[in-house]
Amino acid sequence: MPNERILIVEDEEAIRELIQYNLEREGFRSSSVGTGEEAIKLAKSDQPDLMLLDLMLPGVDGLEVCRAVKRESEDIPIIMLTAKDDESDIVTGLELGADDYITKPFSPKVLVSRVKTVLRRKKSAPSPDISVLDFKYLQIFPARREVFVSGEPADLTFTEFGILKFLAERPGWVFTRSQIVDAVRGDNYAVTDRSVDFQIVGLRKKLGFCSSYIQTVRGVGYKFNE
């Protein structure tokens, strides 16, 4: 049974209680607050294993909470809850460091499943010196900067390799184009969304049938799907 501590940040009491009930049924420990100020304070004093964060909060909103929490510790995974199917909010949250998002209304079963998935990602994050990323027909050797598709070498550019490695190290995680650029080329590298898409097109061509590993998340960015 899981025993991780989940912090629920939601200003609507009924939703807080619903989430708390379903998490505790699955063996999670949980606490809840109704404001962004309380969330920042509690995350700092009693670091949870994961935060469920509503974006539409009174006072300090969810995006500011996300920014403050990730500034203090990048180790706390954050799943955003938003009533607005607003791509700009989702993209902003992901760029601030949020790990996933769920739009309201949501199924409690789906929410619990996403919580478990994000916690599994946290536990299985690769070590910096990992020697090979092996996905059956696709092998990536980070130290050697080599990629093989069905045993045959794929001739990738520096940027194509960086993008593939970054995504493959975090299967299932959704990243915006800006996050991909920052990870591969450094913070504030001047590039447009179109150029990121261009790199992905070239990468997919070189990966052949393994290009299906790289999936487009409409309105957000890309992810690597095993």
- For the ranges 181-190, 201-210, 217-226, the lowest mean pLDDT is seen at 181-190
Residue of 1, 3, 7 lying closest to 30 (CA atoms): 7
Looking at CATH, the fold of the domain delimited by 133-224 is given as: Arc Repressor Mutant, subunit A (1.10.10)
For residue 187, the model assigns a pLDDT of 44
* pLDDT tens-digit series, residues 49-69: 999 999 989 889 999 999 999
Q: What is residue 181's predicted lDDT score, i.e. its pLDDT?
A: 80
pLDDT value at residue 126: 56
The reported pLDDT for the residue numbered 103 is 87
**Architecture of the domain delimited by 5-123:** 3-Layer(aba) Sandwich (3.40)
Spans of all domains in the chain: 5-123, 133-224
196 vs 122 pLDDT, higher one: 196
Q: Is residue 129 pLDDT above 60, yes or no?
A: no
Please tell me the distance from the alpha carbon of residue 108 to that of residue 68, in angstroms, as a whole number.
Answer: 27
Q: How large is the average pLDDT for residues 189-215?
A: 84
